[in-house]
Structure formats: C-alpha cells, structure tokens
Structure 1
Amino acid sequence: MKNSLTYLTLFVIALAYACNGPKSATEEALPPYINVSYTVPKDLSSDASPELLAKFAWEELIALNWKSSYDLSQKRGKPDTTWNFSQSGAYPDLLVWETYAHRSELRPYYGQIQPFDNPPHYSFGNQPAPIPGTNARFDLFNNLDESNEIGSCNLYAYDTSQMVLYQAKVNRYEYDYIQQYYGDSASLAQAAARTQNNINTLSAYCPECPTNCDCPQEAGVICLPCGGAENEGSIEVKTAWRMLTDQDDHTRFYKDSVIYYEKGNDGEIYYKNGVFGLIGIHIIHKTENYPTFIFASWEQVDVTEAKMEFILLNGNAQPTGAPQTVKRLHGVPPVIDTVNNNVHALLKKINMESIWQYYRLIGVQSRPVNSIEEDPNYYMANFVIESDSTLGNFHGSSIGKPFDGGNNTLYNKTFYNMGGCMGCHGATQLKGTDFSFLLDFAGKPVKDPDVIDLIPTEPSPKVKAYILGIQ
C-alpha cells in the first residue's frame, strides 16, 4: 500500500508539472497568489468576488504575455512551453496574443477568411504600398490600423506631438467559429440581423437557446464560443501604442516593431515600420459563467504623466475643437490596486526585469448591473483606450446616445443599462454581433487603414523638426 501511495503521489506531481509547464526554483518557493502559467484560465466561479476576478484577469494577461511558439511551430496563439517568466530579460521577442488574428484577417476586404495559422495577411480595400524608398515589411504581427477610440476621439501625448494608435485581435476560437459558420460578409450580416431580431422579440439569441453559449448551428445566430471545461472560449484583445520620446523611460514599456500608416504628398496611404511602446491593453473573454464577457483593462503606469490630450471627432470621424486634457473620470477601486501590488511583488520576485510590473490593472467587469452603486467598476474606462467623457462616462444605448440610460445589455432574458466597456460593447450585442465591434458593418471590412495624424498646437522647434521628420 505504501508503494502504491508513493506512485500515486509521483503521478499527481508529474501531472501538475505537465499541465502548468516548467517552473524555476524561485517560482516554486513563492506563495500561489496567482497561477503563473502559460495556460489561459477558462472560467471562474459564477459568484467570484472582485478580488478573484482581478486575479483571473492577471492570470489571463500572464498567459497571453507568455512567449509565443510561432517561430518553432508556425502555430499562432500557442505558448512556448519551454519558456517561463523567470528567464532573464524584460520580455520575450514575441508574445502569444501578438500572434492572434488581426481584424483585417478576420474580416478581409477581398477573398475568403484564411486559416488561422497562415502568416500575417492584411486585406484592405485600398491595399497600401510601402513608403517610397523604404523596405518596410507588411508581415509584422502588430498592425496599428486604427487612429481613434471607435470614432469618439483622437488621443495624443506630449502636447499632441505623439498620436496614439490602436489594433484589435481575436483568438483561434472566435476566428475559427466565424470562418466555419459565417466566413463571408453576406452570411455574417444575415446572422447578425437574425440575432438582433430575436433579441428584440424574444429577449434571447434564439428560441431554443437556454444561454448565450453553444447556440445550435441551425439557429443561424452569432453566438461566440464560451470558455469552460473544454476550451478557453472567445477572446478579443485591443491594444494602444505610441512612439516613445526622450521624456519616456524606455525600460518601463513593452516595445515592438509595428506597421503604421501615413498619407503621402500624393494623397495615397503608405505603410511604414517603427518601434512603438505599448501603453494600454484591453482583454474581453466570453465564458460559460460570464457569457456577457469578462472585461479587463491595463495601463502602463506612466501614461498619466505624459500630458495626454484628446480631440473630439464628429460623425464623419473628423477632428473638431481644441485639444482637451485627459482626466480620469472614475477612480480605480482599492481592491484592484491591492491585487496589482501583490502581483507586481510576485513578478519582481520571479524576475526583477519583468516589464509587466509597470502595467496596472484598472478594472474588471463581469456581470451587467444598472448603477455604480451595484458595481464600483460600472464606468470602467482606460486612460488611453476610453479617454473622453463619451466613453469614460458611457451608460447609453449607443455611441450616438452615450448617456441616455437606455438598454444596452441582455443577460438571462433581462435587459440592463450597463456602463463603461461592457455597456458600450453591449450596444453591439443588441445589434446582433455578440459584444463584438469586429463583427459589425460600421466601416467593416475596412477600406483604408487609419493614418497617423499629428496636429501640433504651437509646437516647439524641436517638436516641429520631429514632425517634419515623420512626415
């Protein structure tokens, strides 16, 4: 019996090692505040506390920031299981989430959706050329083709001398679902219309759908996969980037080579390459216990010191008015910062160089409610992803009506007026696209990528010279 117990113990240890990957001696000695693993957490209990939700969010970020195996396996969205956070250096060369599919791969302007594991392949209506005289690459994983906060405002740092650019990506589960069921625009539009009609008439995605997970294929509705026992479910990642300057401490930012765009003297759009710093990251994750998605958002800790300003956009996405100073409209709940402090301490014990000690979780939303009294994260907004009051104070029925208090989210056959990120994405749920701006038809498929647009106001000679060099 003793030998049997010994073998059983060894088997359990081996199984834990196989599931979570190799750990350093430093990691083994640390208290298990969060699971530092390459495995994306699939779900958590339906009654999770704010602290558990924050820890779940950090476990997501750690798994998605694991070293990608793409260079070895040619598989996107997969971790290198031989790597771990204790290895030297601030971060690996390529992260798991960076290899997710870009929005122009999920919604190509021309042709069919390609297999998820194909190399980066960006499809626009007017396919840009490289800036003349350069060898710019169009196959980098970071493609910053958005220059505004979903049509609400443009964002700048250092007196409008540095424009913030964005990109949005999806994981394999969401991508494969759309490719398999609605791989062309016509079928996707039909499914969205059917889903919207069912929500309006039945308060459900379909008559036979007990939940918003695993709706039967024959229902013909957009019902993205949920994380649970079998898989990680649908994940979307939005990131904010900008060029760094001498005023920034470059050692405190994740940096990578990116594709970005500018307009030439001939009026044509060209692509360029440059090294940008990551200043914000937004993860939404659909799970069985949280089918309205878990929304989590991080900022680089120095963004509030970078003289951030925004310029409001009109209905045609044209700048209007003078730059306004970005202000945090709602504070970060204390429980979130407690979790941040504990995770940062853990990361520094594992690796003093880890870049993620300089990124701060600012909020997590898990279930729709109707007021800030029910959830301190009701107005959750990222300083550099939802910067103006339209998004920072959102509690409306649409982007066009951001403060009307109308229905914007459906959960368990009940409508809610949710605020912040979930409420804003919820407005797309009621339009039939299951919380995803990437699946609607507002400017998608994308005809032209957005260009970097520097609008200086009385710049210094140094800034003028910099702008001339960029343009």
Structure 2
Amino acid sequence: MKTARFVACALPLLCSSAALAQTTTYAPAAASTAVTLPPLQADSLSPTPPADVNGGAAQANLVDAAYFAWQEFIALNWPALKQNGQVVRDTPDPAATFGDPNAGPLVWETYRHKIEIFPGSNSPNDPPHGVPPGTNDPWGYSTPPSYVYSPAIFGAGGQVPACPGQPAVAQPAWINLDETSQIGLATMHAGILDGTPPASPNSAPSLIRYLAKANQSEFDYVVSNRLWYVGTDGTTPLEQRIATWKAGLAAGKPAPENQVVTLPAGTIEVKSAWRPLVAGKEDPTRYHTNTVRYYEPGPNGNPCWWEAKWALVALHIIQKTPSAPHFIFATFEQADNILQPDGSPIEDASGNIVQPPVGATPTTPYLAYQDNPTHPFVVPLGGDQFCNNPQNRLYFQELPPGDPSVQPGTPVGGNLCVNTRYEPINYTLQQINTNFQNSIRSYIAGKGLSSAPWLNYKLVNVQVVPFNRSEALPFNNTNFISPKLRSAFYQANITVETDYTLQQFNGRIAADNAPTTYPEGGTQQNFQNVYIRNSGNTSFTTYQMGGCMGCHGNAQLGGTDFSFIIGGNPLSLKPDTPEPESASDARAFYTNRLSRLPSFKHP
C-alpha cells in the first residue's frame, strides 16, 4: 500500500525533487490492537442526546468520546416530533423509527438556522421571529422557519425572493444553504458532478454548500439576554459582554460568567454540507436526502432562491456539556466522499482504506508549508501547480485573502484535488464505527427496514479535551485509546475543512489565509486559542489547540464562547451565491474573527 507523504519543507520556495526525498512518510491507519469495546446498551439507539461523556471529559478516553459522539449523532438524526400536523422543533418523536427515510425532518434539521437567531436586520427592534413570547412556546422557538436577511437589500421583512420559475412552496425548506465557501478560504467541489447538467438551475452543480444551526438552549440564552444583534458603538448587550471578556483576558483573570457570553451546558451547534447527486450514477439510498434551499444571482443581481432535493455529505456537531465548557467536537461524513478518479471509494463505511489513493500525498499537487511571523504560506511542489483533471475526485479552489492588499498565502488560481486525508481514521474509530453500524443494522431489521442511510455514515474523529501540539501522540499499540492523538489534534472533515489551512489548523489563520502559530505582530510561536477557567475563577489554563476546537477557540478568544454564529449578523446581510463576491464577503468577516486577534499568555 502506498503511504501518504506529508511535506513540510523549511524553505518551500526552494524545494526540489531532492528535498521531496527527505520527507517523512506515514502509513495509513492499518489493523492494530483490537479494542475491547463496551457493549452497546438498548439505549445506544436513543432519541435523547447524551448530557455528557462517560466519566467526564477530563477522564474520557477515545472510546468514551467516540461513544458519546455516536449517541449524539443518532439522537440528532432521529425524526422530529409532529403535533397536529406541526413539527415541534428540537424534539424527537420517540415513536418514530430511526433511519426511516419517510419520517420527515430530523431533530437537528429543525434547529434554528443561524439567520433565525441572528437576523440580517441586526436591530434591537427586530428580534428572531416568534419573539415576543407566545403562550406555550416561551420564545416562539418552534415557529416554522423564516429566513430574515437585510431589509435594506431585500425590502421590508428581509425575505429573499424566489427565482423566476421556482414553484411556490408551503413553507421554506428546513435546510437553508446560505454558505458557499469554507469560511471564505476555499470553495469545495465534487468532481463526480463536473459536466453533469443540473436538475434545477444550479449554476455550480459540483459546488458543496453549507449551513449552520443551533438548538433551543442557545436560542433561549441569546433571546433572554438580548444578544441577537451586534452594534458598532460598544453599547449593545453583546458588545458589552465581549468587552468584559477581553478585559478579563488582558488581566489574566476570568470575568464572572454572567457578565460575558457563557452558553449553557446542553448548547448544540451543527454545521452540515450538502450537494446534488448524479442521477443513475449515485445510489440515493446511501445518503440522507432532503429538500434544500440554495441561492443563485437573481435578475437584479441580488440572490434569489431555488429548492431541490440534495444529499447530506457531512455533519459537524459541537456540544457544551457540564464537564466540557470547551465543547466536545465530533465530525461525521458520508462513506463515499473520497473517491478515486474512476469514482471508486478509497475508504469503506468504517473509514478503513480499501485501496491505495491515486497520489502519494493528500492532495495533488503536493503542498509544502512554512510558518513565519508576517507571511506564512502554503505552496505547491512538484511538476504540476494545479490539478487540471479531477475526474470524480473531490477538489477545492483556494480564494484570495479578504484584504486585497495582502499577498495570498495559499495557492490561488486552480484546482487542488483530494487524494486522501492528512490524518487517517484510526483503527480504534474504525472498530467503533463498525460496532454502531452493526447496532443500527440490527435495529432497523427489527423495525422491518431493509436499509437506512445512516449505515453509510462514519465518525471521522472527536475532540473531547484541549491539548497542545507537543502533547499529540501517534496512533500505535500503546496510544490507541488516547484522546490526545495527532489525528484528534488536527481533526478536520474532508468536505467542510479541506484545504491545508483547515486540515492542518493550529493556532489561528493569518490574514493571507495560511495557518500560523504566531500572534498577530508577535515573534514567538505561542499563540493561545483556548482559555479554560481555573477553579475559583482566578486564572486561566491556556492551550494552542488544533483542528475544530482550536479554530472555534478563536471565537472564544473574541468573546463569543466557541461560537462563530454569535455576532455573525454582518455576515448575514444576504445569503451566499456561487459568485466570487460572496466568498470575499465571508473572508473579510472571518479575517476579524480568526486573524486579527490578540494572544494573552499568562502563567
């Protein structure tokens, strides 16, 4: 089997084929020590999400964390309750069958979309729809979906119009795909869709699109504290809490939790990725599918919407628990994401590599990275600057920095093809994936179903505690259940965080779009992105974390408690379309959230 080669050249611009020969090779996860897994109890397939990881986050091993992630995944993908023909948001139907493709929207699909919590109107006088309170639904959480963008752009009510030719719908789709890039860094494409005529007027059939949602715990907290809008003069409730948090960071002493943004335990946010399927080439029964709303440029240049049935290819879940104020981060994918050029999958449903990837490196072209205080960068090595013939492979296109005066730190201008993961799904997680898939198989057989889409989804990784890169361990016969594996440190989803910056995230993202461990303006690689209150609230323990938790740690550093959707109203003036302007707006927003942040290191 070929090995995946990870290139980290000291002087990438001077690298040659001779330098490539000196790179380190890592074998993909292979059969290793078998894990004695706890038996799956009857409630392992339960509509109730786990409140916390077994024994608490600080004591959890990889098995504990993965069981938590899978039980969370099952509960969130349970069909939602309906009463009198109305969907009750964030509430499972215990009488429904998990995996029934005809059961209606899933629990997480009924969560409030970010625009339903933080309206694009960005006004104290325009709260999320459903507020003021109703009689039986205190903050109107279960009001059917309504997506309010900027009234200045779309007129009173902020409603985006349907595209000409779109039939009328009874209610907006639960799946509102208003993001078209990976936080403005790159656009992601499924090569299997290249050249495929769209089934509806989708100008970019191969483009993978995204959404973010949050559950009622977050919604109630935001509304009760009037945090649904952010101003610019420092006087809004959200701005005041952010300022108090930053003052505490600067002093090295946490501010009281009731004076800063402190989401309650039980808060869950999700991010999902969707795309169309190729009729006659892809089996829709292998995917969870639903009607999505997506956006295209309208006749007047502003977005308009279409609705069509698409497939779920990835699901991120982050949950704050009593023992994990830093949230627990889990990421799942559909089994067939990573394909060979001929369309055959590289991994099976457990995550085991079943055939060698077409290339010896995670991407074509090879990528090399160099960190430095002012201009970190990722550059292609080898003969080809870009991947001109993806065929059926996933590929991505890097985007320019949000500040046009900044020289790009990533290879902008062409396709970069995905051959395999930087961090393979390890053997322990493969066994756990198989265990839960077998449990689902037994469950659905007992319910009279021959199959369910969830048999084709796998846990890629889970982060249960923060830790520094120096603590990251290789996967071997000693460390096989450690929660601090290198693969956990660099946790990333292949369709949600695909480019080098996100697959190998550590520290923060520089203004040129490359990752860096230097604080802005600093000369030491000591940027800290996760701050944990110590007992007594007298000090912080800090970490330079990687992957999903490290990235969201930048949101915590900015004062919004690991959440990027809080304070995101300026990014929600209008939904993204495939037009370059949308990605440029996203990157400009995230530059402030991920690049221009101070770092406070205290003993």
Q: TM-score range by the shorter chain?
A: 0.7 to 0.9
Aligned length, in residue pairs: 405
Could you list the runs of 5+ residues in structure 1 that have no partner in the other structure?
Answer: 1-29, 209-214, 227-232, 455-471
Aligned CA distance change for structure 1 residues 52 and 31 (closer, same or farther; 3 Å): closer
Contact 1:124/1:445 (8 A) holds in 2: no
Pair 1:437 & 2:564 matched: yes
Matched, 1:267 2:267: no
Q: Which amino acid aligns with 1:184?
A: Y
- Structure that is richer in helix per residue: 1
Q: Name the amino acid aligned to 2:397.
A: I
Match of 1:121 among 146, 154, 157: 146
TM-score by structure 2 length?
A: 0.64
Q: How does 1:92-107 map to 2 (within 5 A)?
A: 92-107=103-118
Q: Aligned equivalents of 1:321 and 1:445: distance in 2?
A: 25
Letter in 1 for 2:531: L
Per-residue deviation at 1:145? 0.3
Deviation at 1:453, TM superposition (A): 5.3
Q: Does 1:55 align with 2:67?
A: yes
CA–CA separation in structure 2 for the residues paired with 1:260 and 1:192: 33
Distance change (3 Å), C-alpha of 1:275 and 1:407: same
CA deviation after TM superposition for structure 1 residue 203, in Å: 4.4
Partner of 2:504: 393
Match status 1:236 vs 2:269: yes
Is 2:118–2:567's contact at 8 Å kept on the other side of the alignment? no
For residues 567 and 421 of structure 2, the distance between their equivalents in structure 1, rounded to whole angstroms, comes to 29
Quick one: distance in 1 between partners of 2:109 and 2:270?
A: 9
Which one-letter code corresponds to 1:202 in the other structure? Answer: G
- 1:350 alignment partner in structure 2: 443
Alignment of 1:392-431 (within 5 A): 392-398=503-509, 400=511, 402-404=515-517, 405=525, 406-411=527-532, 412=534, 413-431=540-558
Q: Once superposed, what is the RMSD of the aligned Cα atoms? A: 2.2
Residue number among 372, 397, 413 corresponding to 1:311 in the alignment: 397
Q: How many angstroms apart in 1 are the aligned matches of 2:73 and 2:102?
A: 13
Residues in 2 aligned to 1:155 and 1:32: alpha-carbon distance in whole angstroms: 38
Q: Is the 8 A contact 1:235 1:283 kept in 2?
A: yes
Letter in 2 for 1:390: T
Give the match for residue 229 of structure 1: none
Counterparts of 1:162 and 1:294, CA distance in 2: 31
1:75 to 1:93, Cα distance in 2 relative to 1, 3 A: closer
Give 3-state SS (helix, strand or coil) of 2:243's partner: helix
Runs of 5+ unmatched residues, structure 2: 1-38, 130-139, 155-159, 195-204, 231-235, 340-391, 405-410, 445-449, 474-483, 518-524, 535-539, 581-603
Q: 1:415 to 1:108 in 2, by over 3 A?
A: same
Match for 2:93 among 80, 85, 99? 80
Q: 1:369 aligns with which of 456, 459, 467?
A: 467
- Secondary structure at 1:129's aligned position in 2? coil
* 3-state DSSP of counterpart to 2:212: strand
- Does the 8 Å CA contact 1:332/1:362 hold for their aligned counterparts? yes
Code of the aligned partner of 1:120: P
Report the Cα distance in structure 2 between the residues aligned to 1:171 and 1:273, rounded to whole angstroms.
24
Q: Check 1:122–1:393 CA distance in 2 against 1; reply closer, same or farther (3 A cut).
A: same
Contact between 2:228 and 2:566, CA under 8 Å: does it hold in 1?
no
Deviation at 1:146, TM superposition (A): 0.3
Q: CA deviation at 1:119?
A: 1.1
Asked if 1:146 corresponds to 2:179, the answer is yes
Q: CA deviation at 1:187?
A: 1.8
Q: Which amino acid letter does the alignment assign opposite residue 208 of structure 2?
A: V
Instruction: Pick closer, same or farther for the CA change 1:177–1:93 going to 2, 3 Å.
Output: same
**Residue of structure 1 equivalent to 2:430:** 337
Report the CA distance shift for 1:91/1:367 in structure 2 as closer, same or farther (over 3 A): farther
Q: Percent of counterpart pairs with the same letter?
A: 33
SS in 1 for 2:309: strand
Structure 1 contact 309–324 (Cα < 8 Å) conserved: yes
Q: TM-score of the superposition, structure 1-length normalised?
A: 0.81
SS at match of 1:444: helix
Q: Say if 1:350 and 1:399 are closer, same or farther in 2 by CA, change over 3 A.
A: farther
Select which of 324, 327, 336 maps to 1:293.
327
Instruction: Give the drift of 1:195.
Output: 1.6
Which amino acid letter does the alignment assign opposite residue 313 of structure 1?
L
Aligned residue runs from structure 1 range 203-218, under 5 A = 203-204=253-254, 206=255, 208=256, 215-216=257-258
